[in-house]
Amino acid sequence: MRTSRIANETRRVVRALSPDQRASARRSLRVYAHSIAEHGGVKKEEESDGSALSSPPSSFEDREAANLGKRKRGTTGPTAESTTRSPRKAPKLENGDDAKPRKARRQPAKRIQGPNGGIIAVEPPASWERVYDLTAAMRKRVLAPVDTMGCESLAEDHRSPRDRRLQTLVALMLSSQTKDTVTAVAVKNLQGTLPDGLCLESLLEVEPSELNELIGKVGFHNNKTKFIKAVAIILRDKFNGDIPDTIEGLVSLPGVGPKMAYLTMSAAWGRDEGIGVDVHVHRITNLWRWHKTSTPEQTRAELEAWLPKARWHDINHLLVGFGQTICLPIGRRCGECDLSKAGLCPSAVTSSPVKRRVKKEVGVKIEDEGGRSVAELGQIVAEQDDLGVKVEADLADEGKVTITDLRVNAIASDAVL
């Protein structure tokens, strides 16, 4: 047994001193040193006696274990778990929260309220200048009622500046829910019928019943009579007989809204402090997709945010006339509109007119040229399109007769021919 033990030890020494084993031992030392440097050394109790760092593994078993990547039982080297790189932790903020990187979130465009209550920092619509210029060119070709009977043109030139400003305000008050042709007639009645013409003194003296009769053709004339009488008293008592020269003062008057106030400031005082938005401006600009608003006040805020101030006064007159002649509220004439031809109006209608068939049971008597009764109509079938009306009448004696002359309107309205 002793000889066998000595022989075994001898073989181990010889094997350890061979060139291949020396190279393997050097590799093991490098791996061991690298692991110590990476993991910050060994435990403190091993550093105190210096046994871990003083020399590499001395025995053959230690070298073999290091070479094969094995760990002897009881050793303090780094384990497989300690050598695996742990995931990077998020840095800590001052308050202790994790500073996790977040994807940048797209913020909507901000709209900031301006000094007049409008919205600023709104991008202008694409090609708005071309749309504006083409609309102005179309307006020059066709005369609209607002051009000759608009509220700004109804004040009498021979009156004093104070009376002219009052006439402009009264005309705008009467124009609400009323066509320009009707408003112009009512203003002319006041100017020509009142004892001193249309002035503050006449409005203070006139009886409400007489005033109501003079403006009886305008819409909501009963309420407007009350408003005009109340405004006359307020102007006398609070504004020294003249109309207010501020938006706040104008909207404080009964029956005067923001649209009337801005138009009055522009027409009477010559100051453009806002855009007067009526139903035409609100409707047409939404048809152009310049914005998507539900009230005229929202439309005014959107327009004032980007439209140059030099055009604030003209846009009302421009679009009112455009809405009266081409872009009508009912039956828009898109075939005559240059914006539709240029592809600049997203709401243009290019389809052919739709025919409508209407059947009516009537009892209209038809007479010939001598006044003699011909027959009783039993049924009328009217076929109507944008080009006219075609009526087919079933006559008791003559059979089916087609009527295409001007008497069509009389037949359709149950009138006697």
In this predicted model, what pLDDT tens digit does every residue of 101-112 receive, in sequence order?
454 444 334 354
What total of structural domains would you count in the chain?
3
The DSSP letter of residue 355 is: P
**Domain's final residue, options 282, 316, 341:** 341
In a domain, 143, yes or no: yes
Is 89 noted as a catalytic residue in this protein?
no
pLDDT tens digits, one per residue of 27-64: 655 655 565 555 554 444 444 444 444 444 444 445 54
**Which segments of 108-220 does DSSP mark as H helices, in order?**
128-141, 145-149, 161-175, 180-193, 200-205, 208-214
What integer pLDDT is reported at residue 241 of this predicted model? 94
In a domain, 107, yes or no: no
**Domain's final residue, options 317, 341, 365:** 341
Are 383 and 326 contained in the same domain? no
| Catalytic residue (one of 259, 341, 355, 365) | 259
Phi and psi at residue 206, to the nearest 5°: -70, 145
In a domain, 37, yes or no: yes
Are 281 and 376 contained in the same domain? no
In a domain, 314, yes or no: yes
**CATH of residue 162:** 1.10.340.30
What integer pLDDT is reported at residue 39 of this predicted model? 54
Are 373 and 318 contained in the same domain? no
In a domain, 94, yes or no: no
Are 266 and 384 contained in the same domain? no
Are 334 and 366 contained in the same domain? no
Domain hosting 44: range is 2-75
As a three-state string, the secondary structure of 43-86 is CHHHHHHCHHHHCCCCCHHHHHHHHHCCCCCCCCCCCHHHHCCC
Are 335 and 310 contained in the same domain? yes
Label residue 211 exposed, middle or buried (CB < 10 Å: 0-12, 13-18, 19+). Answer: buried
What integer pLDDT is reported at residue 35 of this predicted model? 58
Are 295 and 336 contained in the same domain? yes
- Under-70 pLDDT residues of the chain: 1-4, 13-121, 351-417
Are 230 and 324 contained in the same domain? yes
Q: Tell me the DSSP string of 74-138.
A: T--S--HHHHSPPPPPPPB-TTS-B----PPPPPPPP-EE-TTS-EES-PPPTTHHHHHHHHHHH
In a domain, 92, yes or no: no
Are 279 and 132 contained in the same domain? yes
Phi and psi at residue 160, to the nearest 5°: -70, 160
What integer pLDDT is reported at residue 6 of this predicted model? 72
Phi and psi at residue 18, to the nearest 5°: -75, 155
Question: 98 pairs with which residues across the strands?
Answer: 92
Phi and psi at residue 403, to the nearest 5°: -115, 125
The answer to whether 284 and 327 are in contact (CB under 8 A) is: yes
Are 324 and 397 contained in the same domain? no
In a domain, 166, yes or no: yes
Are 124 and 205 contained in the same domain? yes
The answer to whether 282 and 263 are in contact (CB under 8 A) is: no
In a domain, 35, yes or no: yes
pTM score of the predicted model = 0.56
Are 64 and 127 contained in the same domain? no
